[in-house]
Structure 1
Amino acid sequence: MVKGTTSMGGFTKKKVHIRCRRCGKNSLHKRHHVCASCGFPEAKRRKYSWIKWYT
């Protein structure tokens, strides 16, 4: 048997994402320094054709 849950259970206590300076959402990755929502610090905002919140 592998002990998956007991080993990985300690990873859930830390916060991975913090508040983004550009969009204000809690989606800025602490270690990678990239926002999952808007793509900060890239110059262009991250957007896809299937996302409906941008115009």
Structure 2
Amino acid sequence: MHQHCQCGQRATLVDHVIAHKGDTNLFWDRSNWQPLCTRCHNKHKQRLERSQ
């Protein structure tokens, strides 16, 4: 089964809702995962980096 991004495109990546920062429990916590397409993932990450 294929997952889809919020934008409707087929998801190509799994993103961590909360950055795991090396925490293996958070990294593997499926409730912290969201499917994203590459375009949305990159846009999301760029927005986060600009806000820091």
TM-score range, shorter chain: under 0.3
**Structure label with greater radius of gyration:** 1
Q: If each structure's strand is expressed as a fraction of its own residues, which one has the higher value?
A: 2
Q: If each structure's helix is expressed as a fraction of its own residues, which one has the higher value?
A: 2
TM-score (norm 2): 0.27
Q: Which has the higher contact order (CA 8 A, sep 6+)?
A: 2
